[in-house]
Each structure stands twice: as C-alpha cells, then as structure tokens.
Amino acid sequence: MMQLLKLKNFLWTVMLLISLSALTHGNDDDNQHTVIRQMLLSTALPNVAEHKLTTLTVELKPGIEVGEHQHDAFVFVYVLEGIVGSQLNGEDLIEYKAGDTWMELPGDNHSLTKNMSHSESAKILVVFVAKEGAKLTNSDKLD
C-alpha cells in the first residue's frame, strides 16, 4: 500500500513537470500524418522495482479515429488541446476536453479514440507505468 502511495505521489509530480514542458515542446513530424506521437521521457522508477515510466504526447489530426487497442501498462491520459472521445471496454464514448483526464488499466480494451473536431487538432499527454520490457501498445491496426 505504501509503495502504491509513493507511486501515486511520484506520478503527480512527474505529470505536472511534463505537462508544463509538453505545452511548449515543438514537433518536427510531418503534418500529413494523422496521429503524431512524440516521446518525452522514459525512465526506470526507483521506488517500484522493475517498472518504467514512459510519457509521450499524441496529436490527433482533425476527425481522426484510432481503432481498438490495448496497453500492457497503467495509462494516465491528460487532454492538452481540443476534445477527444474515448471508449473503453465497449462502454459509451465519453468526450474529454482540455484539462480532463482518464485512466486505463493493463489489458483494458480501448475500443476507440477520436478527435471530435473536424477542423482542429487535439493533443493528449499519455503516461505509461509498466514492467520493464512490456509492450506499451498492442494492436495490429497501429504502427
């Protein structure tokens, strides 16, 4: 229980620091891509044996939908820009706006991720906590 509390406090601290840097960090990827992923940080967790924290931003171009996938990790998502629809485990699609968050457990079925706007990009900050060597995203539909 104490280890979980330490992990939670550590994640909140990292989230604050990363979200501030993510808001000002540029992206050199080609704008023709519909989903642009940018790695921000990947580091071992000193207080959680054999686990790693990985953070990235994901930009979703207007109207883009990302199909079904899973993660072998705990996933924390923070919406930086726009409105993102997220559907987990076949439940209703929930719309999240800038400043909103959601969490996924290892193995949850992320049925759909969608930029709800057809004219503006959306951007999310994603934080993974996973065992060393875990595959962060599992899907034959995602590169």
pLDDT at position 82: 98
List, for residues 48-93, the tens digit of each pLDDT value. 999 999 999 999 999 999 888 888 899 999 999 999 999 999 999 9
Domain ranges of the chain: 2-131
Q: Of 137, 133, 138, 136, which is closest to residue 50 (Cα–Cα)? A: 133
Mean pLDDT for 24-33 is: 45
Helix (H) or strand (E) holding 59: strand 51-60
CA dihedral 133, 136, 139, 141 (to 10 degrees): -120
Bridge partners (DSSP) of residue 138 are 70
Domain 2-131 classified CATH 3.20.20.70? no
Question: Distance between CA atoms of 2 and 5, rounded to whole angstroms?
Answer: 5
pLDDT at position 86: 95
More confident residue, 115 or 19: 115
Query: Which of 34-38, 118-122, 130-134 has the highest average model confidence (pLDDT)?
Result: 118-122
Question: Distance between CA atoms of 129 and 44, rounded to whole angstroms?
Answer: 10
pLDDT at position 83: 98
